[in-house]
């Protein structure tokens, strides 16, 4: 890992510019931070490495995980409370910071209103289907494991994915256009094509500036009140993936995002002594559904055993598949449940059709008797509306006993998964960057994909858990940096 030098303010020969708050990166976390810092009375300078703002946020589907009784949840008659949302998120996160989760849940309805007030468009529709990204322009949809065992034991399942008003994918650009416009209107200063490559600390231990480079020219920028790091994740950096995520499959997986999601933010954070968290966390997907009927099939590994409830959120399923021998998995269907996975990108391959389970077992090179036993057990329990092994919801239980059968290869060895990193710098509920002793580093805040926030792995992820906390804690970072009171 390359850790850049940390400059000493006393040795800075010249400050080329000064702002109250310096924000590094102009994706969703940086834009929200900049707006709130500006509204807190600060002169704000955003430094962006690309030719314009947007980042990976602009490529995103525009799903924000929000709840606790948002205007949309109310409009469609869904009852949700911050307590239920908190209980669900606490149950889904490995080592949650309860105060950080609590604050996000309590303020979630207000945060939705805030996003809408910035011009981020949201409708009032509810998409009831099981999909990765709702194909309609409906806002609300179930995008996580709320209805999946054991999560429904902790909190009443409620949909919390709020998608920007746009048919299907691509709403992230609309959200970013609105936020960037607000920044322009309100006098946030932005420099582009400029990469921050070092932070500056004063004698009191406060982060008080940044060094950046643009067209070969080096400039040092002073931050009177605070620095907000919002420069994205590290999935595009192959070496860092090997270093931090050594168990992540080395085949069949591609990062998504922009080339600048290369760990530059992580490097800057480490240079200032930041602690990291959940560094091996990823969310990968090559979803089997839609069509939803495929959830009625079963997933088996190359031992012919089931290993995950098939109604899980696709990121949860992907992480379980990554834990199977050879990263291999098969989706088993009968003639009633058969269909082709819709996603062309996932490239799941139909192995073949088979007249009997025994023939399929042999055709897939599974140990003799393994698949026959797995299916006999599954079918007997499914006929009773039960899944004692993995607790798949009864809505998706149907005996697979109508020949012919079919199998798709859905493992990493024969599909294409797309992933994001979830690990990063550790922050608290004030969006302050924490050091190795858990103490806030004065003047230093962070938000978005460069921090390890609420979701820490694919098993507990829900779509929207990057943009939701990223935008919310971006606001917190901006507000606190503008106060400059740590
Ligand atoms: C295709 C796709 C779909 C997605 N869909 C969703 C979704 O629907 N819901 C959801 O919650 N999440 C989604 N995600 C994930 C989500 O988009 C990201 O986690 C989130 O946008 C990260 O926001 P950010 O502001 O932290 O980073 P970014 O948006 O990546 O912004 C970081 C910015 O920092 C800049 N930068 C980097 N290094 C430096 C440097 N050294 N100096 C200055 N600037 C620098 C970059 O150029 C970039 O503009 C999706 C991601 C992708 C790629």
Give the Cα separation of 228 and 46 in Å (integer): 9
Nearest residue (by CA) to ligand 1, atom 10, is 464
Is 261's C-beta closer than 6 angstroms to any atom of ligand 1?
A: yes
Pairs from 76-85 (Cβ < 8 Å, separation ≥ 24): 76/124, 76/125, 76/126, 76/140, 78/126, 78/140, 78/158, 78/159, 79/156, 79/158, 80/158, 80/160, 82/106, 82/108, 82/109, 84/155, 84/156, 84/158, 85/155, 85/158, 85/160
* CA-only gyration radius of the chain, Å: 24
Note the pLDDT tens digit of each residue in 344-371. 889 999 999 999 999 999 999 999 999 9
pLDDT digits (tens, 9 = 90+) for 78-91: 999 999 999 999 99
- Residue of 4, 24, 27 to test ligand 1 pocket, by largest number of atoms within 8 Å of CB: 27
Of 22, 30, 34, 57, the residue with max ligand 1 atoms within 8 A of its CB, to mutate for a pocket test, comes to 57
State if residue 59 touches ligand 1 by the CB under 6 angstroms criterion. Answer: yes
Q: Could you give the CA distance from residue 7 to residue 23 in angstroms, rounded to a whole number?
A: 18
Question: Which domains occur in the chain, in start order?
Answer: 1-283+420-486 (3.50.50.60), 287-415 (3.90.700.10)
Q: Report yes or no: 100 and 454 within 8 Å, Cβ to Cβ.
A: yes
pLDDT of residue 34: 98
Residue nearest to atom 38 of ligand 1 (CA): 231
Query: Residues 209-217: what's their mean pLDDT?
Result: 95
pLDDT band at 131 (very low <50, low <70, confident <90, very high): confident
How remote is the CA of residue 26 from the centroid of ligand 1, in Å? Answer: 9
- For 232-278, the pLDDT digits (tens) are 999 999 999 999 999 999 999 999 999 999 999 999 999 999 999 99
Distance 257 CA to ligand 1 centre (A): 7
pLDDT at site 485: 62
Rounded to two decimals, what is the model's pTM?
A: 0.97
d(CA 96, CA 310): 26
Interacting residues of 437 by C-beta distance below 8 A, sequence separation 6+: none
Cα 451 to middle of ligand 1, angstroms: 12
Our answer on whether the CB atom of 133 is closer than 6 Å to any ligand 1 atom is no
């Amino acid at each position: 890992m390359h850790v850049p030098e940390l400059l000493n303010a006393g040795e800075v020969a010249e400050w080329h510019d000064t702002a109250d708050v310096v924000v590094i990166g102009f994706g969703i976390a940086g834009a929200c931070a900049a707006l709130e810092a500006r509204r807190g009375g600060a002169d704000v300078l955003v430094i962006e490495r690309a030719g314009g703002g947007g980042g990976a946020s602009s490529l995103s589907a525009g799903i924000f995980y929000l709840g606790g009784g948002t205007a949309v949840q109310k409009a469609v008659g869904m009852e949700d409370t911050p307590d239920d949302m908190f209980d669900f998120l606490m149950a889904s996160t490995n080592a949650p910071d309860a105060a950080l989760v609590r604050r996000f849940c309590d303020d979630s309805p207000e945060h939705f209103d805030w996003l809408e007030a910035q011009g981020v468009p949201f409708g009032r529709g509810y998409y009831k289907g099981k999909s990765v990204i709702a194909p309609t322009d409906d806002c609300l949809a179930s995008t996580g494991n709320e209805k999946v065992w054991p999560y429904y034991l902790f909190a009443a399942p409620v949909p919390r994915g709020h998608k920007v008003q746009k048919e299907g994918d691509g709403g992230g650009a609309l959200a970013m256009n609105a936020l960037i416009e607000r920044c322009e209107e309100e006098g946030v200063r932005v420099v582009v094509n400029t990469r921050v490559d070092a932070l500056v600390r004063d004698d009191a231990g406060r982060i008080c500036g940044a060094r950046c480079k643009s067209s070969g020219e080096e400039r040092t920028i002073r931050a009177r009140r605070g620095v907000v790091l919002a420069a994205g994740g590290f999935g595009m950096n192959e070496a860092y993936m090997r270093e931090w995520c050594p168990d992540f499959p080395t085949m069949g997986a591609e990062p998504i995002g922009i080339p600048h999601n290369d760990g530059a933010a992580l490097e800057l954070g480490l240079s200032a002594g930041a602690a990291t968290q959940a560094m091996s966390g990823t969310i990968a997907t090559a979803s089997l559904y839609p069509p939803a009927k495929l959830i009625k099939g079963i997933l088996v590994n190359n031992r012919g055993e089931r290993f995950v409830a098939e109604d899980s959120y696709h990121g949860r399923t992907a992480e379980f598949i990554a834990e199977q021998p050879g990263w291999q998995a098969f989706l088993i269907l009968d003639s009633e449940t058969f269909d082709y996975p819709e996603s062309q990108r996932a490239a799941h391959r139909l192995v073949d059709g088979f007249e009997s389970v025994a023939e399929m077992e042999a055709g897939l090179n599974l140990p003799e008797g393994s698949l026959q036993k797995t299916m006999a057990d599954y079918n007997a329990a499914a006929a009773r509306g039960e899944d004692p092994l993995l607790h798949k919801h009864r809505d998706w239980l149907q005996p697979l006993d109508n020949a012919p059968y079919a199998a798709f290869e859905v493992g990493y060895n024969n599909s294409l998964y797309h992933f994001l990193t979830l690990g990063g710098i550790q922050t608290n509920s004030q969006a302050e960057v924490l050091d190795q002793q858990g103490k806030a580093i004065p003047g230093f805040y962070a938000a978005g994909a460069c921090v390890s926030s609420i979701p820490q792995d694919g098993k507990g992820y829900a779509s929207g858990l990057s943009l939701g906390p990223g935008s919310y804690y971006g606001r917190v970072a901006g507000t606190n940096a503008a106060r400059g009171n740590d």
